[in-house]
Structure 1
Amino acid sequence: MSGIKIESVSQEVGIIGNKIYDNYYSICFAAASSDFLIHNNSIYNNRYGVYSGHVCRDFVISNNSINDNTQYDAYFTTSISDLVIYNNSIKSNGYQVFIFLVLIVKMLQC
């Protein structure tokens, strides 16, 4: 059902250099996450490319090939802080990047 599914609070995780295909979710975060790097992966033929329904921070999606996912290549439904999506090949998806209810929190130092 899912290529990579993370169901607990997670931090400092890298998903690097994988082929993830023919799943419902290729990479799914089901709990609060921070310090994530999704880099240099081939993600294709999934329903969702990268999906998160919970609070995320310090999230980088870079240098990936994300193709032919039927719904979304990147889907975030709750608060996100410090999200960077760069240098990816994204094509033939239902939606390229979908972000709903995005809250970008900036911390001020005194």
Structure 2
Amino acid sequence: GGGFQGGTIMASGVILMRLSLGRQATIKKFPLEFGPIVGAIGLLIYAGTGLVSLLAGGEYLDYAYLPIPSTSGTERQYLGILFVEVGVALGVFGVLLSIFDSLTKE
């Protein structure tokens, strides 16, 4: 999928900015609360995608049951995978940034 790798690369960018520019310079754009919030949004997207397909009559993360109008089953599966991968990317980004901020707090 690429969600994990994408989240890692995004977190690496912010971590490299924190290391090279200093924490105070990057806190304005990426405050310390940013990591946990983005991680929680990623988790909600991932879990929400599964829950919606479950409530629509399928199994958890059965993308063919996502109620997306004007789409075929194949298109719904593509979109479902996209939603899950975005959720994973945001979750990994948030967790890695939170871990880094916790380890380097002053």
TM-score for the superposition, normalised by structure 1: 0.21
More strand by share: 1
Looking at CA atoms only, which structure, 1 or 2, has the larger radius of gyration? Answer: 2
TM-score for the superposition, normalised by structure 2: 0.21
With a CA cutoff of 8 Å and minimum separation of 6, indicate the structure with the bigger relative contact order: 2
More helix by share: 2
